[in-house]
Amino acid sequence: MRLSDVAYISWKQLSERKLRSALIVLAISIGVVAVVAVAAQVEGLKVNVLSILEKLGPTTILIRPTPRYFLTSIDVAKLRTIEHVKEVIPIIIERITVVVGSDTISTTIVGIDSDKLGSVLGEVKLVEGSTYVDAPIPAALVGYNIAFDVTTGEKRIAVAQSLIARKGSHTIPLTVIGILSTYGAAPFISPDDSIFVPLKYLLSLRRRPVYDLIIVKVDSTDHVDEVTEMIKILYGRNVQVISLKFIATQVTSVLTAITVFGLSAAVTAFIAASFGTANVMTISVLERTRLIGTLKAIGMTDTAVLLIYVVQALILGMLGAAVGIPLGAACAYMLNAILSSYVSVPGAPHRARGPGLVFKPVFTPEYIALATVLAIASALVASVYPAWRAARLRPAEALRYE
């Protein structure tokens, strides 16, 4: 018998039981939906997190003081003497409130030298105005979400405008000299929700000339671990040392584990679908016992009968994948919209608070192929016993079957 005849008979038998076939396809597609949706979410999150970390670069090391230690200019000089250290950037970060019109915005003021802004932000992108000079003056670069209302898009801060920032009972006068463009998420500072001022200005307002953070740039990724260990040896437990290279590795490991867990859950759905498929195909064999006997009596071989049910399983698996992949993509976007609506970035300004998990699902060919293979494989495995049983039927016994 020709393969085309086998395929025709297989399709004809499936189409005779449309509802039953549709339920099997739906059961198989559930597993495909799970694989596609979970993998797309995790891959999208991984791409988003790694892109955020790449803004500072894989050669970046962050140093934060513990409550019992203060970072000063002495530490900056000491860090610059370490071999393979290319750049040392001291930073001051404080939470403040700023009154803009009728709104009181809780935000972050960042003290940093103007020539170091590019190293932290990737590049300095301005909507208007210019950057400040490195002097103890109240010049400010304002983040986009502060200068513009994120709901209406209305501009509420202009260049040359004076602002009064408050930290507790202290006031910090500021003059806007520039407005930054949008940047999106960042590893430790949100440019869109921050005000940048000269480092010397914030130092002059402090009782102690200390820093809240020091960024160390290493000359090569090959030396990041070496420099990290050297800093830990120098400072012991007085500081927290965080390597972005290490963070990227850990993030990748954690998200890979989440993917494996999600795929394990999806495999459970495929197993359940396989049992359902095997049960339905066994019933199909029983219903067509006399037909199988007739076909074998007129010359159909055991192999041809076996192929009929294998092809049926192949069709069901392919249909399950065809239905499940677009449904999985839709579910991925729906889940992404839900996460973006209900999860916000901790510490973001009240009026400028945006979605915390701002990322798009990423659909990789590898996971699409995996979902398709699992759908087809689960259907084929489920067809083994029914197909074997149909092929083993003896024509005489099959024709007598009631």
Q: Are 165 and 194 in contact (CB under 8 A)?
A: no
Partners of residue 63 on adjacent β-strands: 214, 241
- Per-residue pLDDT for the chain (402 aa), expressed as one digit of tens each? 566 766 777 777 777 778 878 888 888 888 899 889 888 888 888 887 777 777 667 888 999 999 999 999 999 999 999 999 999 999 999 999 998 877 788 999 999 999 999 888 888 999 999 999 999 999 999 999 999 987 788 899 999 999 989 988 889 999 999 999 988 766 678 899 999 999 999 999 988 899 999 999 999 888 999 999 999 999 999 999 988 888 778 778 888 888 888 778 778 878 877 887 787 777 777 666 777 677 667 777 777 777 887 888 888 889 999 999 999 999 988 887 776 655 443 333 333 344 445 678 889 899 899 999 988 988 888 888 777 777 777 766 655 554
- The model's pTM: 0.64
Mark residue 317 as left, alpha or beta (left: phi above 0; alpha: psi -120 to 50; beta: remaining): alpha
* CA angle in degrees (0–180, nearest 5) for 141-185-56: 80
> Rounded to an integer, what distance in angstroms lies between the CA atom of residue 98 and that of residue 109?
10
Q: Are 118 and 124 in contact (CB under 8 A)?
A: yes
Q: First-to-last CA distance in the chain?
A: 27
Question: Among 255, 380, 257, 236, which residue's Cα sits nearest to residue 309?
Answer: 380
Contacts of 144 (CB under 8 A, 6+ apart): 127, 179, 180, 181, 182, 183, 191, 192
Contacts of 98 (CB under 8 A, 6+ apart): 104, 105, 107, 146, 163, 164, 165, 166, 174, 195
